[in-house]
Structure 1
Amino acid sequence: MRVTIDSLGARGDGVAQGGEGPIYLPFTLPGDVVEIAADRPAGHSRFELVEPSPTRREPACPHFGTCGGCDLQHANDELYRSFKHGLVVTALQRGGIDAEVAPLVACAPHSRRRVTLTAVRVGNRMLLGYNAARSNVVVPITACPITLPAIEAALPFLRRLAELLIDRKRPLKLLVTATTSGLDIAASDAARLVEKTRQRAVALALEAGIARLSVSGEILVQARPPVVDFSGVAVELPPGAFLQAVGSVEAAMADLVLAHLAGAKRVADFFSGCGTFSLRLLRKSAVHAVESEASALAAQDRAQRATKGLKPLTTERRDLFRRPVPAKELKRFDGIVFDPPRSGAEGLAREIAASGVARVAAVSCNPTTLARDLKILLDGGYRLSSITPLDQFLWSHHVEAVALLDRA
């Protein structure tokens, strides 16, 4: 069956219309003419490209098409950025929100500072890389054009480290973060560490100049504290701590939030992590940071104490999904920022809507749950002043967004 791709789906697949409904084909683009194998039903991916779309370009990575880390390296910039912008527009429309969406804030190749690699044993071989698209099969990689050069250059070392730490019965995860003081490696699901393995891993990390190596939360060696800079505030990351993927995009997100909350004397930062927003806000506002991870709150507290000229910081460890802060407690704040995981912050949004707090900044990596939470706030009397999509997951179907709201 020969079909022409009409559009891109939400996951970056090309979509064509077949006799029994839509057909989704990965790594195709609008305008591609493809021939689908006769022995495959609609929705499966064995096909041949007959005529390429004019929006196609040569992918930047030799692993594109097998590695599942990127969906859209083959799309030109105009199509790619339109797709990302459209994800936010469509989510708002489906959520019943009529709003103008600002242009996409882009990110460059070789800018991602945080990746998770998977290692598995296959027979006598050890493979280190990313999962294939929608699969548990690991595609070994020798290059990664989304990452900072320091991470890409460390791939040979990471393979040697994985050989040491891998358990034969389960995949090994390596969370690699590029900090101002060097790479921070946090391994999980590793084999049980015997003393010989521990010593070899420490020696390997020191030889490679790694800032810190931890395994299952235990620090094996720390040559230098792994530090990130939040606009002049130095924060030492706990092992495995969350960090926004791209530093320049994080700064753009923070600029939007800080400009919106300027003039607020007391700000609440929910799902605060290690202080992406709270530590920047402390230049002009007292901040109450709420987070479920004690180590992240402690990192914020140490950074605030070590930096001169900041306003007071208070912290609270709290599960905001099970125990959203009640509206009556929120009334003491002039501004709120919240940046939840992909599932959003429905319960918290309901409390904010009832609180009457003057200004709110909502940050999200999931346009669908963001639209749901924004609808709650809008129905509660807020006005959406702007929404900006940001790209820090280059060539993927994921997009970040910052929505700014005022009390109507």
Structure 2
Amino acid sequence: MTEVLIKRLGLQGDGVADGPIYVPLTLPGERVEGTLDGAQLTDVKILQPSSRRIAPPCRHFKSCGGCQLQHADDDFVADWKVGVVRRALETYGLETVFRAVETSPSNSRRRAGFAARRTKKGAMVGFHGRASDTIVAIPDCQLLDPEVMKGISIAEQLALVGASRKASLSVLVTATQAGLDVSVTGGKPLDGPLRQQLAMVCDQLGLARLSWEEEVVAMRAPPVHRFDGIDISPPPGAFLQATAHGEAVLTRSVLEITEGARRVVDLFAGCGTFSLPLARQAEVHAVEGSAQMIAALDHGWRNADGLKPVTSEVRDLFRRPLMPDELQKAQAVILDPPRAGADAQVAELAKVPPPRLAYVSCNPVTFARDAQALVKSGYHLDWIQVVDQFRWSAHVELAASFTASHIR
């Protein structure tokens, strides 16, 4: 047996001892022992627990891979997530003001991706186990909204109808105003009989929409999401914020940062999470790489009352970022890129810095890289709002306020 002292948590939430040796489900200051397997300690026994350790609220925690940090108290998790962002900034010599962390409540995740597999006796549905392809049943999950939990029985029926015995289905279930929106990948190829069976399942279960490999096979009612009271119907599998609480905090932050701007450019705009609420006070130009998401955004704007003009554009911002001449009239810019960040677009923003910039990020590492480039170009990093909408996970989201130096 190997005995180690946990010094810190890594970016994935695992404890890290000297070596480095990685020990899941541990906390800094704990002395533990286990079997050393490469760089990881297995069969771990806690010899000296941390004072921050608590009993996990969910009985599935140790076997399920959906959460990483239920064994730590809420204050510790909040401080750790701020620390992840702070250390990422320190790597580039940056510092700023951190606002108090906003954490989404339990049972509030409005979308989840279930794994479903046919078995000899029926079907198995749940999340993949920790560092495993094994499916773990989660009937008492403390993370998901009760409506999304209904997706477990839905995924079971879909597996019986459309899964092979050799592979598992991925069943993305999203709660909407019109009912559950279900999008499935990894299933049997669509043919006439399968289409009929899936349409029957959609009707019998009262789903809003059922998609198979991104093709809509049945729809009882368009799935509806509301961004500040403005209805949109996203395409199957479209990106949406994980919780209504997290979305509200990020939107509030973006509106604060862009307050007073009459013309705003929203980059990586998705279906209009920020563009549409912002259109109550400013003209918006929304840019997004997905034509389907832009179509949903445009439809939502056209069917809403009292909004200022919203123009939209389908564009791959990684290959074709907006150029300085396209940005010079903007009084504020919103950046909400995927995990890879927005280095190509940031390089163009640096040439003609709009007065205000709201950066929404799901990756502190690429955010810090882009923040350094923005600061070098003449921006000041005013503050950061860390948002923990992926409760009990190692995932960190944030909204950051940048102001061009010439208007400070």
Q: TM-score range by the shorter chain?
A: over 0.9
- The whole-number CA distance in structure 2 between the counterparts of 1:357 and 1:128 is 48
**Counterpart of 1:133?**
130
Q: Deviations over 1:347-369 (max 9, x none)?
A: 10111111121111011000000
1:68 aligns with 2:65: yes
- The whole-number CA distance in structure 2 between the counterparts of 1:260 and 1:71 is 32
Match of 1:216 among 197, 213, 216: 213
Match of 1:24 among 11, 22, 25: 22
Amino acid corresponding to residue 364 of structure 2 in structure 1? P
Change (3 A) 1:209 1:125: closer
- The whole-number CA distance in structure 1 between the counterparts of 2:320 and 2:46 is 52
Q: CA deviation at 1:276?
A: 0.3
Q: CA deviation at 1:180?
A: 1.2
Amino acid corresponding to residue 26 of structure 2 in structure 1? T
- The whole-number CA distance in structure 2 between the counterparts of 1:116 and 1:65 is 19
Determine helix, strand or coil for the equivalent of 2:41: coil
Change (3 A) 1:16 1:197: same
Match of 1:145 among 142, 147, 166: 142
**Identity across matched positions, percent:** 41
1:381-400 to structure 2, matched below 5 A, reads 381-400=378-397
**Counterpart of 2:403?**
406
Determine helix, strand or coil for the equivalent of 2:79: helix
Q: CA deviation at 1:125?
A: 6.2
Q: CA deviation at 1:189?
A: 2.1
**Counterpart of 1:284?**
281
**Counterpart of 1:9?**
10
1:314 aligns with 2:315: no
- The whole-number CA distance in structure 2 between the counterparts of 1:95 and 1:137 is 40
The answer as to whether partners of 2:8 and 2:28 remain within 8 angstroms in 1 is yes
Q: Deviations over 1:62-121 (max 9, x none)?
A: 221222111001111121111111111111111221222222111110111111122235
**Counterpart of 2:237?**
240
1:157 aligns with 2:154: yes
Aligned alpha-carbon RMSD (Å): 1.7
Q: CA deviation at 1:324?
A: 0.8
Unaligned 5+ segments in structure 1 are: none
Using the size of structure 2 for normalisation, the TM-score is 0.95
Determine helix, strand or coil for the equivalent of 1:44: strand
Q: CA deviation at 1:193?
A: 2.6
Change (3 A) 1:41 1:215: closer
- The whole-number CA distance in structure 1 between the counterparts of 2:289 and 2:298 is 15
1:185 aligns with 2:182: yes
Q: CA deviation at 1:2?
A: 2.3
Determine helix, strand or coil for the equivalent of 2:42: coil
Amino acid corresponding to residue 185 of structure 1 in structure 2? V
- The whole-number CA distance in structure 1 between the counterparts of 2:205 and 2:119 is 26
**Counterpart of 1:304?**
301
Amino acid corresponding to residue 321 of structure 1 in structure 2? F
Q: CA deviation at 1:210?
A: 1.3
Change (3 A) 1:114 1:322: same
The answer as to whether partners of 1:40 and 1:46 remain within 8 angstroms in 2 is no
Change (3 A) 1:41 1:318: closer
The answer as to whether partners of 2:151 and 2:173 remain within 8 angstroms in 1 is no
The answer as to whether partners of 1:211 and 1:223 remain within 8 angstroms in 2 is yes
Q: Deviations over 1:139-170 (max 9, x none)?
A: 33323211111111331222122221213443
Determine helix, strand or coil for the equivalent of 1:88: helix
After TM superposition, the structure 1 stretch with the greater mean CA deviation from structure 2, 307-316 or 97-106, is 97-106
Unaligned 5+ segments in structure 2 are: none
Determine helix, strand or coil for the equivalent of 2:141: coil
- The whole-number CA distance in structure 2 between the counterparts of 1:42 and 1:372 is 28
- The whole-number CA distance in structure 1 between the counterparts of 2:257 and 2:324 is 21
- The whole-number CA distance in structure 2 between the counterparts of 1:396 and 1:300 is 30
After TM superposition, the structure 1 stretch with the greater mean CA deviation from structure 2, 92-101 or 182-191, is 92-101
- The whole-number CA distance in structure 2 between the counterparts of 1:119 and 1:154 is 11
**Counterpart of 1:33?**
31
**Counterpart of 1:47?**
44
- The whole-number CA distance in structure 2 between the counterparts of 1:65 and 1:7 is 20
After TM superposition, the structure 1 stretch with the greater mean CA deviation from structure 2, 341-350 or 87-96, is 87-96
Determine helix, strand or coil for the equivalent of 1:173: strand
Q: CA deviation at 1:124?
A: 6.6
**Counterpart of 2:357?**
360
Determine helix, strand or coil for the equivalent of 2:350: helix
The answer as to whether partners of 2:230 and 2:304 remain within 8 angstroms in 1 is yes
**Counterpart of 2:117?**
120
Q: CA deviation at 1:42?
A: 4.3
- The whole-number CA distance in structure 2 between the counterparts of 1:135 and 1:355 is 48
Q: CA deviation at 1:134?
A: 3.5
Give the length in aligned residue pairs: 404
Q: CA deviation at 1:123?
A: 6.8
Q: CA deviation at 1:122?
A: 6.2
The answer as to whether partners of 1:13 and 1:24 remain within 8 angstroms in 2 is yes
